[in-house]
Amino acid sequence: MINIILIAFSLLMMSQVALSCALGPRTSPEYDALIKVSEKNSKGIYTITVPMNLTSYPPLLMLQYTRSDKKYENIISSRDIPFEVTQETAVAHVLIKKRGRTKAYIRVFWPAKGGMCSIYGTSEYIRF
């Protein structure tokens, strides 16, 4: 009887974890704060650093431009940013230019196996 209760409890707990991840990628100000964008140097190159170890796969860094006050709406340009790994940090050096009235920001996707429980983070708008 106790074995049946333990099995039932274990299945219930596993289903709760699966449900919390199945509702979509995780995103929060906590993950946004992990994205560090340094001031640009004299050539307009910014340094971006993000942790590597949030999931079992390397992150994907993207430079995105929008015309909206909401970062995920009206994206007019998006490109991947190559990076190098130093210890447990992804470091990228990227030229970011002002494009008319658009706003630029960095978006990071930390993928998880099968896409479940993946993590998104978004930087503040880049100051030119």
Q: Which domains does the chain have, with CATH numbers?
A: 25-122 (2.60.40)
Q: How far is CA 15 from CA 10, 22, 44, 49, 115, in A?
A: 9, 10, 48, 35, 17
Q: Would you say 96 and 44 are in contact if contact means Cβ atoms under 8 Å apart?
A: yes
Amino acid at 11: L
The pTM for the full model equals 0.77
**Cα dihedral 23, 77, 50, 31 sign:** negative
Write out the chain's pLDDT in tens, 128 residues: 565 554 544 444 444 444 456 555 688 899 999 999 998 888 889 999 999 988 888 999 999 999 887 776 778 889 999 999 988 999 999 999 988 889 999 999 999 876 678 899 999 999 88
At 32 the three-state DSSP class reads helix
